[in-house]
Amino acid sequence: MNYTIVLSKTAEEHLAAVWNAAADRNTVTVAMDEIERRLGRDPRGFGESRAGKDRLIFHGPLAVYYRVDQARREVRILSIGSAGRST
């Protein structure tokens, strides 16, 4: 991994809520694993840009709002929710 992935406490709580509510928890787990893998390699090439350094990704059942700190080589996941669509 080129970037360190850090989940905020809020993001951890959101992920737990999405996982607990999911009809297929494995799908949530697999999607989050893939999101972390891809963000670790190329956070700017994955997702859509938002204000400043913030970005948003929709992947499988998840929507992930994150911020890239290029200088620290860190991706901070700020929030996770249900995407309401599949990619």
pLDDT in tens, 6-59: 999 999 999 999 999 999 999 999 999 999 999 999 999 988 999 888 999 999
Per-residue pLDDT at 53 = 81
Residue 86, pLDDT score: 41
Q: Count CA within 13 A, CB hemisphere, residue 73.
A: 6
Task: Look up the pTM and report it.
Answer: 0.89
pLDDT tens for 55-77 read 999 999 999 999 999 999 999 99
How many angstroms separate the CA atoms of 51 and 29, rounded?
28
- The pLDDT value recorded for residue 1 is 57
What CATH class is the domain 4-82? alpha beta
3-state secondary structure of 86: coil
Q: Is the dihedral of CA 79, 71, 73, 59 positive or negative?
A: positive
Domain map of the chain by residue range?
4-82
pLDDT for res 38: 96
Q: What is the 3-state secondary structure (H, E, C) of 2-61?
A: CCEEEECHHHHHHHHHHHHHCCCHHHHHHHHHHHHHHHHHCCCCCCEECCCCEEEEEECC
